[in-house]
Every structure is written in C-alpha cells, then in structure tokens.
Structure 1
Amino acid sequence: MGKIIYWMNTSIDGYIEDPNGGLDFHDPGEDFHQAASDHVRRTAAFLFGRRLYEAMERPWTQDLGKEGAPAFEREFAQFYKETPRYVFSDTLQTVPEGVTIVRRKDAVSAATRLKQEIDGTLQLGGPELAVSLLDLIDEFWVYAFPVIVGGGKPYLPVEKGLQLRLVEHRSFASGIMFRRYTRS
C-alpha cells in the first residue's frame, strides 16, 4: 500500500507563491537539490494539481537537466522523467507519455485506488488538490526557504484544523528548513 506525502516549498511565513503568483523566492542550493533527488529517487508516482504540473513538466522534461547542467540537476530531471505522473485537471485534454490525466470529480476515488495499487511514496503537490485529498494524506513535508513574502498562496488553504506530530526536521547550509509531520 502506498503512502501519500504532501510536499511543497514555502517561504517561512507559509506561502508557496508570492502575492504576484511568483516563485522567485525559491533559490535552492545544491544541498536542497540533493535532498530532493534522494526523495524523488524513492517516489513511486507524482500526483499533481494542474498548475504545479505545468510548472514542473516542461522545465524538468525539456529545459533543465541538459548536458552541461550541474550533476544534481541532471539527476533530478532523470528521476522526474522516469516517474509516473498523474495530473488532476478538468481543463487539460492531452499530456505526454508518462503522464495520466485524472478529472477532478474523480480525485478521491483515483487517489484511493492509486494508494492501494502502488507500493511506495505517492508525492502530492498543489494546495487545492491537497485540500481535496486531505483525508488521504499520510505525511506533510515543508521545505521553508529563508524569506518572508508577506502573502500569496498558502501551503494548505484549509478551513479546519488538523493535529500533526513533528517526526523529522533538519536545516540545510543554504538556510532552508525541512519539517516532516504525520497525523497525531
């Protein structure tokens, strides 16, 4: 049985995007890239909301990780391309090989089925999708970058509380803080 992990990079004030929808505050160092590659190497599938899918797909399959790029970038791009990707969207009509479209109305049933069928980590990304799958999430991962953006899109825009237990934390030389939570 699989485990769903919701992972997003944030500012220290808890936003995944700045007030203008930008991600410019994400300036990862090599240490973060290595940790990300280590995790993606063990990821059985990605479950993406449409916007995060679009932010990840082209860069990591076409633009980044090319010959001459840093080794950690090439490694991440290779793992990304080899991992099955599911994009939850009602607007996308076509996707490249290796990607499956799941309609939003089927999100809970599809994620439940994938969790039962796939042994390993199902990495969930996208705050709106995470809210819709909240009851299926096993772990919450936060990589907090050392910047305050003062507003934008929150990590998890829920309207109810959820008790969590911190089970791992570490800091990176680049100033990024990692926290891993499970349900209490």
Structure 2
Amino acid sequence: MRKLIYGFGVSVDGYVNDRDGSIDWTDPDEELHQFHNDRYREIEVSLHGRRLYEVMAAYWPHLPEDAPRIEREFGGLWREKPKVVFSRTLTEVHWNSTLVSANAVEEVRRLKAAGDGVMEVGGASLAAALMPHGLIDEYQLFVSPVVLGGGTPLFPSLDKRIQLRLAETRHFNTVMMLRYRVE
C-alpha cells in the first residue's frame, strides 16, 4: 500500500497561509529548496486540491529562462510528476494531471491501494478531508519562525485525536522540519 505524506510550511501558531491567503513568508532558501526538490523526486503521485493546483500551475510551468537553477529544476519536476487534482469546479487540468471531481476519500483509498510507493497531499482543505479517515500516514511540518495570528490552520477541528510519533527533526537555516508518523 502506498504511503501518504502531508508536508507543508506552517507558522509557529499553526497556519499554512496568512489572513490574506499569502504564503510569501514560506519562500525557501537554496538549502531548503534543494531538500524539497530531492524529496519531490521520491514522490510517485502528488495529490492537489484546487487552490494549490491553481497556484502551482500559474507559476511553475511559466518560469523565465533566467530563473534560478534550483527553481527551474523544480519546475521541470512539477510539470512531469503525475498529479491528481481534486476539484468540483475545474473542467480541465494540464501538466501530467488527472482531474477527479468524485469523492476524494474513496479516490485516495483507491490510489493508496494501487501501489507501494509514496504519495503526497498538497492543500490544507484536501488534507483536512482525508485526516478524519486515517488516510495520512506521515506529517512533515516545515515550521517558519513567524506568528501570523490567523489564516488557514494546518489541522482542522477533529472529532478524535490523531496520535503521532516524532520520527525526525531537521534544522534548516530558515525552518525546522518536524516529521511525524501516525501511530
């Protein structure tokens, strides 16, 4: 069965974006960007919610030729990576993406059972829909030293707790990575 990872930049007070929806405070330096590039190579399938897909699709396929090497590298990886985009409003997706408008929980169960590699989920709303069903196997939090005071929370309200075990910590120049496995 495939493992599903939810990895996201998060503020110290637990938000993935600020009140205006901005994530400008998560811009990675070269060290962190290279880590994300290397990690992304290991992902078999990337699951995107609509909003994240729209942000990614507006930027990564259209990098200028003078963009930094590390960004061009990720842009190529993102364009080629198989992606499943969950949306009830989009009518088409591009760049090696498949659009799913049906039940996300059932589709993710099917995708997990269809292989033995690693998938990632991107987008707080999509991840929030999967959490109560126990579909996320690992959380990778990239904690930025900023307090936002509001925005989209990393974790939704849940009816029952999710027990985690700390598997790794890693200090980068700009963030602290906390990797947790679901028990």
Instruction: Settle same-fold status: TM greater than 0.5.
Output: yes
Deviation of the 1:159 alpha carbon: 2.2
- Counterpart CA distance in 2 for 1:141 and 1:158 is 19
- Counterpart CA distance in 2 for 1:88 and 1:125 is 10
Structure 2 counterpart of 1:145: 144
- Contact 2:79/2:95, CA 8 A, preserved across alignment: no
Structure 2 counterpart of 1:107: 104
Structure 2 counterpart of 1:24: 24
Tell me, yes or no, if structure 1 residue 8 matches structure 2 residue 5: no
- Counterpart CA distance in 1 for 2:125 and 2:95 is 25
- Contact 1:47/1:88, CA 8 A, preserved across alignment: yes
Deviation of the 1:86 alpha carbon: 0.7
Given candidates 72, 75, 82, the residue that maps to 2:70 is 72
* Deviation by residue 1:55-79 (Cα, 9 ceiling, x = unmatched): 11221112x3x43222211111111
- Counterpart CA distance in 2 for 1:97 and 1:60 is 10
AA matched with 1:57:
A
Any unmatched runs of 5+ in structure 2? none
Any unmatched runs of 5+ in structure 1? none
Q: CA RMSD in A?
A: 1.3
For the residue of structure 2 that corresponds to 1:123, the secondary structure is strand
TM-score when normalising by structure 1: 0.92
- Contact 2:80/2:95, CA 8 A, preserved across alignment: no
Structure 1 counterpart of 2:89: 91
- Contact 1:44/1:118, CA 8 A, preserved across alignment: no
- Contact 2:86/2:99, CA 8 A, preserved across alignment: yes
Structure 2 counterpart of 1:34: 34
Deviation of the 1:128 alpha carbon: 1.7
* Aligned length in residues: 180
- Counterpart CA distance in 1 for 2:170 and 2:95 is 36
- Counterpart CA distance in 1 for 2:146 and 2:7 is 18
TM-score when normalising by structure 2: 0.93
Deviation of the 1:84 alpha carbon: 0.6
* Deviation by residue 1:33-92 (Cα, 9 ceiling, x = unmatched): 011001111111110111111111221112x3x432222111111111111111111000
- Counterpart CA distance in 2 for 1:45 and 1:172 is 26
Structure 2 counterpart of 1:183: 182
Tell me, yes or no, if structure 1 residue 119 matches structure 2 residue 116: yes
For the residue of structure 2 that corresponds to 1:133, the secondary structure is helix
Say if 1:97 and 1:36 are closer, same or farther in 2 by CA, change over 3 A. closer
- Identity across the alignment (%): 43
Equivalence map 1:38-77=2 (5 Å): 38-62=38-62, 64=63, 66-77=64-75
